[in-house]
Amino acid sequence: MAKKLTTEEFEKVKTVYNTYMEHDRKVHEFDMLHARALKMFFDSEDALNLVRAELEDKYGSVNINLENGEIQEVVEEAEEVKE
């Protein structure tokens, strides 16, 4: 006849194992959500870059006020001449 754990040992190992498996499942679920969130982030970044390029083609290098849509030309400072 095969040896068996005591009822207390068996319940303890089952409880610890089930907790471990639940945490493992949550980690994998988190990884999937993280991957989806990253894809959405990079997709929105690509869309933003496309809009930026379209507006730069139309208006040149400008700053856009996202509260009211006003644009201001970007003024580059002149470089200092070293003597």
The pLDDT, as a whole number, for residue 55 is 95
Mean pLDDT score of the chain: 93
Q: Indicate the pTM of the whole model.
A: 0.64
The pLDDT, as a whole number, for residue 19 is 98
Give the angle 19-23-25 at the CA atoms, nearest 5°. Answer: 115
Contact (CB, 8 A) for 23 and 31: no
Domain ranges of the chain: 7-55
3-state secondary structure of 17: helix
The 10 Å Cβ neighbour count of residue 64 is 14
* CA torsion angle 51 57 62 68 (round to 10): -50
Give the DSSP letter of residue 66. T
Q: What does the radius of gyration of the chain's CA atoms come to, in whole angstroms?
A: 30
